[in-house]
């Protein structure tokens, strides 16, 4: 029996080809990232990165949260391009001293060490941006959270922008709910993504200067929690004194961050605002009750965040040293 192509089948084929052509013309950057990007050119990459993160966390648990935050602060400023890793010089001012990052972002030495080890095995192949993205994933997983496959193939920017990093694209700890939603929306992340990614605050520490106003001036805070936190964060001075973002299990990636919000024990104003009678209350409640749903939504959001405006193909470069352009 001979098979013939009907008019409808022809239409479907033409439509499929048209969609494929449109997709190619758009040059969708995330589509050009691939889980197997370095499988032939640097097959040992994943093990080298994970060993580097494990070693760093073994020395200091907090560094896992710092690496995760470093990835977040990189992606929100002109996309995931490793720009935050570029150090200032006599003629160049990058993002590290911008208000959201100054004396706050950390973990650069870990990235430097991992990059050095990668270069020994496959020189000039792997971008600093991809290494940073992988360290964020491994930090979450090593501290008890989920794992996921990271799409790779990002290249490194040749420059950074102090002004862009200072412009408010990175939401400050004093953010309103509307500001959080708007800032995440501006980079293609939904409200659900924002609430899920905020769960990264289940690990790590914050500086007194970022939560002082909340623990002394706000009313939607547990009294005993406020008094306990005030012991290490005076009304004046001690700006760099630290407190855990998750008072319950600060070294474990779990859903206690959301449980704390239900009990008005969010450390930052931008934490507690997620559960304060607003539109995100139900998501916080859901995540507090179901760790699996939180993990799944967090992974989805992390993958989306890692896809923000990456440099691909012939864009940017593969830096030899992460702290300076080639």
**1, part of any domain:** no
Residue 22 has pLDDT above 70, yes or no: no
4 SS3 class? coil
Specify whether the CB–CB gap between 104 and 120 falls below 8 A.
Answer: no
181 plus 290 within the same structural domain: yes
* Whether the predicted pLDDT of 15 surpasses 70: no
CATH number for the domain that contains residue 54? 1.10.520.10
Tell me which of 169, 204, 239 is where a domain ends. 169
The domain tally of the chain equals: 2
Average pLDDT over every residue of 281-309: 98
Tens of pLDDT, residues 188-226: 999 999 999 999 999 999 999 999 999 999 999 999 999
Closest to 79 (Cα-Cα) out of 171, 190, 164: 164
Biggest CA-to-CA distance, the chain: 87
Considering the domain boundaries, does residue 17 fall inside one? no
Token pair recorded at residue 102 = 């100054």
User: What residues are annotated to the active site?
Assistant: 73
Q: How far apart are CA 228 and CA 226, in angstroms?
A: 5
Q: How confident is the model at residue 276 (pLDDT cuts 50, 70, 90)?
A: very high
Domain boundary among 169, 193, 228: 169
Q: Residues 182, 164: one domain?
A: no
Q: Are residues 79 and 152 in the same domain?
A: yes
pLDDT at 103 over 80: yes
Entry pTM: 0.90
3-state secondary structure of 34: strand
- Answer yes or no: is 146 within a domain: yes
* C-alpha torsion angle, residues 180, 185, 190, 191 (rounded to 10): 20
Q: Where residue 253 sits, what CATH number does that domain have?
A: 1.10.420.10
Measured CA to CA, the distance from residue 317 to residue 125 in angstroms comes to 10
Any domain includes 275: yes
Q: Would you place residue 29 in the very low, low, confident or very high pLDDT band (cuts 50, 70, 90)?
A: low
Dihedral of the alpha carbons of 8, 9, 11, 13, in degrees to the nearest 10: 170
Q: Which domain holds residue 288?
A: 177-305
**Chain position carrying tokens 């409808």:** 8
Q: Domain for residue 39, yes or no?
A: no
Residue 204 and residue 125 share a domain: no
Could you tell me if 295 and 240 lie in one domain? Answer: yes
Query: Are residues 300 and 198 located together in one domain of the fold?
Result: yes
pLDDT band (50, 70, 90) for residue 311: very high
Are 153 and 234 part of one and the same domain? no
190 and 162 within one domain: no
pLDDT at 123: 98
The DSSP H or E segment spanning 90 is: none
- Separation between Cα atoms, residue 173 and residue 170, nearest integer Å: 10
């Amino acid at each position: 029996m001979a098979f013939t192509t009907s008019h409808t089948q022809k239409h479907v084929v033409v439509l499929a080809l048209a969609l494929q052509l449109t997709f190619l013309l758009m040059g969708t950057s995330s589509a050009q990232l691939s889980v197997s990007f370095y499988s032939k050119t640097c097959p040992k990459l994943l093990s080298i990165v994970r060993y580097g993160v494990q070693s760093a966390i073994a020395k200091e648990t907090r560094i896992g949260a710092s690496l995760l935050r470093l990835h977040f602060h990189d992606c929100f400023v002109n996309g995931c391009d490793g720009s935050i890793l570029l150090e200032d010089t006599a003629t160049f001012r990058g993002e590290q001293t911008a208000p959201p990052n100054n004396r706050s972002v950390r973990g650069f030495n870990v990235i430097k060490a991992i990059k050095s080890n990668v270069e020994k095995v496959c020189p000039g192949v792997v971008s600093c941006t991809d290494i940073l993205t992988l360290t964020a994933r491994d930090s979450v997983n090593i501290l008890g959270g989920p794992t996921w496959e990271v799409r790779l193939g990002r290249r490194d920017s040749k420059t950074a922008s102090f002004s862009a990093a200072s412009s408010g694209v990175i939401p400050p700890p004093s953010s309103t709910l509307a500001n959080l939603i708007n800032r995440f929306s501006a980079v293609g992340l939904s409200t659900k993504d924002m609430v899920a990614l905020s769960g990264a605050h289940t690990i790590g520490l914050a500086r007194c200067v970022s939560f002082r106003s909340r623990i002394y001036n706000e009313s939607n805070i547990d009294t005993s929690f406020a008094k306990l936190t005030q012991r290490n964060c005076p009304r004046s001075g001690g700006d760099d004194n630290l407190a855990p973002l998750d008072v319950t299990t600060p070294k474990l990636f779990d859903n206690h961050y959301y449980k704390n919000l239900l009990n008005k024990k969010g450390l930052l104003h931008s934490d507690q605002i997620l559960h304060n009678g607003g539109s995100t209350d139900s998501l916080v409640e859901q995540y507090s009750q179901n760790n699996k749903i939180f993990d799944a939504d967090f992974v989805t959001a992390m993958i989306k965040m890692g896809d923000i405006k990456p440099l691909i193909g012939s864009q940017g470069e593969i830096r030899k040293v992460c702290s300076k352009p080639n």
